Amino acid sequence: MLLDRRLIPALILLVQSVSAAVTITHAPSGHSSSHHVIENELPFANQTHEVVKVPNSNVVLVSQMSNSVLVKAVVNNRGAILKLQGFQIEKPTSALHGLTNSKAYPGKVWLTLQGENKLVLIDPKVDSVRAVPKVLKEISVPTPGNGPHYIGEYGDDLWVSLQQSYDVLRISHVDPSDYNIYHGVPRPVFVAQHPINKMFYTGQDDSSSVMKIDPKTGKTTQFHVPANIGQTPVGMISGPQGVWFTLLGNATHGTGTIGHIDANDKFTYHKLKSTFGKDASLLHLAFDLDVTENHTLWLLSSSIVDDDALNMIIKVKFDSEWKTIQSEDILAMPTQESQAHRILLTPTNVFATELASSKLLTYYNRRK
């Protein structure tokens, strides 16, 4: 029987498909990288400031000062925003700024309204992103204090920097008639309690000075940052063996400098040495959650005063005695000229707000 020539191409194709079959099977689809960066877009605002993560939830709160909006966002374990909602806090001119989680009222958050001269405790209502936060307590800043910026809770007391009046306020959230106002110089930014001597310290950026406050006697002492070291002390927090802060620099350059205050008010300055770190304009800092084991400090470099400064996250590892910097790792933020503003550590993420670009950056930092 003769083979129909019209069937030959089909037969050739059949033979090829049998002898050279391509197999497709499942492959591992998990992310192999231990790090990645996401820039989450937030509602537009001229100024995006502080960030906190509400404990025992997947909710992050961000303050936008220029329009007094609180952004509530649900994030996944890599810090990507899944859904969000903005809330007008009082009026657009009320200048929402400071945020801090409360320990006295678990799950609640303190905030400052710089334009209203008020401290406010809210229930953020984390069960629903659209649920309106509830005001639980309002405390007016006593005169002549004015302009609450930073807020921190220490037992029954709130410690607050007052930028307009150049003061620091201690006020009881249990009995607001119990308060003290400590007058400083321009302008208190952050307040931190020393873990050893229990004194309080505030960095005064415009005067390049640090004020020490003795809460028992009310005595205040000023310490000026030496000009040859740098200027503009900011980002003051409690940490290993003392209070730590950064020097922002000025409109033309930074100095990549970290400051430490010991229990006897000895100031030690640590200088970054890497190519991008040595002139960094350091605005904020946070210690790693495993700091007792890894001796690691995270820094935020910002273009907030120097337009040419790089916006970066810098991971710095010290020796076990906190005397010498052992290593520096640099992450340049994807959006430059963003005026990086605050840094926050969580078990899996490093968050950073971008003041000028309405973004919340997350650096996924999976722990080994």
Question: Any idea how long the chain is?
Answer: 368
The DSSP bridge pattern shows strands 157-162 and 167-172 to be antiparallel
Token representation of residue 159: 């410690």
pLDDT in tens, 85-107: 999 999 999 999 999 999 999 99
Return the closest-CA partner of residue 190 out of 284, 115, 258. Answer: 284
| DSSP-derived secondary structure for 101-139 | E-SSSTT-EEEEETTTTEEEEEE--TT-TTSPPEEEEEE
35-183 folds as Methylamine Dehydrogenase; Chain H (2.130.10)
Angle, CA 365 vertex, CA 360 and CA 368 arms, to 5°: 165
- Listed by start position, the domains of the chain span 35-183
Distance between CA atoms of residues 282 and 233, nearest Å: 9
Token representation of residue 80: 């990507």
Give the per-residue pLDDT at 6. 56
The residue-averaged pLDDT of 289-307 equals 97
The residue-averaged pLDDT of 302-316 equals 98
Instruction: Find the radius of gyration of the CA atoms of the chain.
Output: 26
Give the per-residue pLDDT at 30. 52
286 backbone dihedrals φ, ψ, rounded to 5°: -155, 140
Give the per-residue pLDDT at 366. 66
Give the per-residue pLDDT at 32. 44
Q: pLDDT band at residue 22, thresholds of 50, 70 and 90?
A: confident
Mean pLDDT of the chain: 94
pLDDT in tens, 270-291: 999 999 999 999 999 999 999 9
Token representation of residue 26: 């499942």
Return the closest-CA partner of residue 302 out of 292, 293, 312. Answer: 312
